[in-house]
Amino acid sequence: MYITNWNEDRKDKKYINQIFTSINKELSETKEDIITQIALHNILIDSLDFYERNNTITLMDIAIKVNGIQMPTIKLSSWKAISNSKIELLKYENISTLANIENLREVLIMKNANLSNFIYPNINETTRNKKQILKVMMMDIMSTETAIQKEIEKVLKN
């Protein structure tokens, strides 16, 4: 019995190490993507500010000038794998932080859908009001991206 338990513990520790290696890799890649996207979002916001009062420049013109509007990829495959199988092997702090990242990812998806629902019908708009709305939406998206980045840093520190 003792040897069986010892062997199971050894297998569980090996599994957890492998999962956290994968989680850390995914989150490191996600963090880098967020950093890149936030920089691009800042360029978009600066462009919206610059062209705010120019009624000849459309939202599409601005999007083209900044090479489109992209969102970061939030990678959580390893977290989903363990959360559906051996979650009891994780510390509460890790579970909580990874669950927060997953929840924030869902919020980001919703905000991106709202952004798409705003942009497409207004793509040819030139008004200051529409540019300001897009700017506020982008700032809101960036706040969620920053929150995800902070949660990722907590996981990577552990």
| pLDDT tens for each residue of 116-130 | 999 999 999 999 999
Closest CA to 34 of 154, 156, 158, 150: 150
High-pLDDT (> 90) share of the chain, %: 75
Query: Cβ(148)–Cβ(31) under 8 Å?
Result: no
Confidence at 115, pLDDT banded by 50, 70, 90: very high
Distance CA 134, CA 118 (A): 8
